[in-house]
Structure 1
Amino acid sequence: MLYRVEGIVIRSMDYGEGNKIITLLTEHDGKVGVMVRGAKKPKSRHAAMTMPFTYGQYIFFRNKGLGTLNGGEIIESHHKLREDLTLAAYGSYACELLDRVLQEEETGSFWFGQLKACLDALQEGKDPEVLIHLYEMKILQAAGYGPEMDVCVVSGTDQELEFFSPRLGGVLSRRSRHLDPAAMAVSPSVLKLLRLFAKLDMRRLGNVAVKDTTKAELKTAMRALMDMQLGMQLKSRNFLDQLDKYQI
């Protein structure tokens, strides 16, 4: 059967001497694997369509399992992301995270819309550190692990919310902190950002100016939350950590 879909390349791997297998994130059909024959050859007309972050229309044949690319057209190459090492690292993390969290049978336009918005915002020059934590929040929420940010996750009160518990999945009041001694104290600025992230759609993010100290605290909170709720070891995140050490 011939399929025509719009998708984003979230994974690309060599297969054999001249072929590639790409994983597309589509708006309505979830993740789709497609074989691109001859993609590694110098004169391949489909090589550009296998590049990471590429958003395009893909036409392929498929009966069962992998499809085989027949043709297509690039809508947005996101080439700026591939030309910048730091942006490429953030883009790779966004793609790998979604690829690992989204199950094969899951579909829905939400995942597609959030990833596309993330890649577009990275290309537009928005702060990648702030952007990626908002994206992480959206992935957690879509996977059913979104934190409670408005009231104490234990008592339900909206008073004295001074701590954040990655283990319990949300904010804690001062009186409930004893239930999770490992809960971290968070500044009002970080609490405000986390609440914003919980309510904001990626596609509506404007330019946000955040102090370096606030970004460092935000990263600590989101890293702990991601590790506790998802517990995934991602190559792209390890690479981002290495980049941070190098830049320091």
Structure 2
Amino acid sequence: MQYRVQGIVIRSMDYGEGNKIVTLFTRELGKAAVIIRGAKKVKSRYASVAQLFTCGDYLYFKSGQLGTLNHAEIVESHHRIREDLHKAAYASYMAELTDRMLPDQEANAFLFEQLKAGLQGIDEDKDMQIISFMYEMKIWMQAGYQPELDACVSCRSAEGAMRFSSSLGGILCERCRAKDPGAVPLSPGGWKLLRLFAHTDIRRLGQIDVKPETKETLKKLMRTYFDTHIGLQLKSRHFLDQMEKYGV
């Protein structure tokens, strides 16, 4: 059967002497694995459509587990992302999250548009860390791991100072703080940002200025939540950690 889709390359691997197998995250079909024959050859007309983060229109034939590319045209190459270590690192994290957390061949048009907008935002020099936070929260929500961010997970209060409890799965008010002594205090701005990550469409994100210490706090609590409830080991996250550790 022949398929015509718009997709983003979220994984690419060599296959044989001159070919590549790419995983496309498509608007129409979700994740799809496609062989691109000759993509490793220098003069191949399909070498560019097999590169990570490329968004394109793909036409492929599928009779088994893998599709075979017939034709492709680039919509956005995102070559500026691939040429910048930091941009590529955050884009790789978003791509690996998509690849590892979503099932194959399950369409999710909303998440496709969020990833497409996230890559575009990184390409346009918007805050790549904030974009990755927002996309990560969208992934959690779509996969059924959404934290409770609008009211206390214990008493449902939405008043006063709040803390974030990874173990209990959301925010705690001051009256319920004893339920998790390890819950992280949240400033009003930090709480607002967490809800922004959950509820704001990445396509509507403009330039945003967040203090470095606020971003560091949000990163720690989101990672703790991820490790507590999801627990995937991601190579891209390890690479981001190494970049930060060595000040790259």
**AA aligned opposite 2:11:** R
How far off is 1:89 after superposition?
Answer: 0.5
Alignment match, 2:51: 51
Tell me the SS of whatever aligns to 1:126.
coil
Tell me the SS of whatever aligns to 2:11.
strand
How far off is 1:213 after superposition?
Answer: 1.2
**AA aligned opposite 2:201:** D
Measure, in 1, the Cα distance between the counterparts of 2:2 and 2:197: 40
**AA aligned opposite 2:138:** K
Tell me the SS of whatever aligns to 2:98.
helix
Alignment match, 1:144: 144
Determine if contact 1:151/1:161 at 8 Å carries over to the other structure.
no
5 Å matches for 1:1-248?
A: 1-247=1-247
Tell me the SS of whatever aligns to 2:210.
coil
Tell me the SS of whatever aligns to 1:198.
helix
Return 5+ residue gaps in structure 2 as ranges: none
Tell me the SS of whatever aligns to 1:145.
coil
**AA aligned opposite 2:5:** V
Deviations 1:84-104 (A, max 9, x none): 001001000000001111011
Measure, in 2, the Cα distance between the counterparts of 1:2 and 1:130: 38
Tell me the SS of whatever aligns to 1:247.
coil
How far off is 1:246 after superposition?
Answer: 2.1
**AA aligned opposite 1:76:** E
Measure, in 2, the Cα distance between the counterparts of 1:18 and 1:105: 26
How far off is 1:43 after superposition?
Answer: 1.3
Provide the identity percentage.
54
**AA aligned opposite 1:51:** Q
Deviations 1:143-182 (A, max 9, x none): 1111111110111111234210112111001121111222
How far off is 1:19 after superposition?
Answer: 0.8
Determine if contact 2:161/2:186 at 8 Å carries over to the other structure.
no
How far off is 1:237 after superposition?
Answer: 0.6
Tell me the SS of whatever aligns to 1:197.
helix
Measure, in 2, the Cα distance between the counterparts of 1:216 and 1:21: 36
Deviations 1:92-124 (A, max 9, x none): 000000111101142220121111011010001
User: Following superposition, which runs of at least 4 residues in structure 1 exceed 6 angstroms of deviation?
Assistant: none
Deviations 1:43-74 (A, max 9, x none): 11111110000000111111121011111111
Measure, in 2, the Cα distance between the counterparts of 1:105 and 1:40: 26
**AA aligned opposite 1:128:** M
Determine if contact 1:34/1:67 at 8 Å carries over to the other structure.
yes
Between stretches 116-125 and 222-231, larger displacement belongs to 222-231
How far off is 1:10 after superposition?
Answer: 0.5
**AA aligned opposite 1:188:** P
Determine if contact 1:152/1:161 at 8 Å carries over to the other structure.
no
**AA aligned opposite 1:47:** A
How far off is 1:184 after superposition?
Answer: 1.2
Measure, in 1, the Cα distance between the counterparts of 2:151 and 2:172: 8
Return 5+ residue gaps in structure 1 as ranges: none
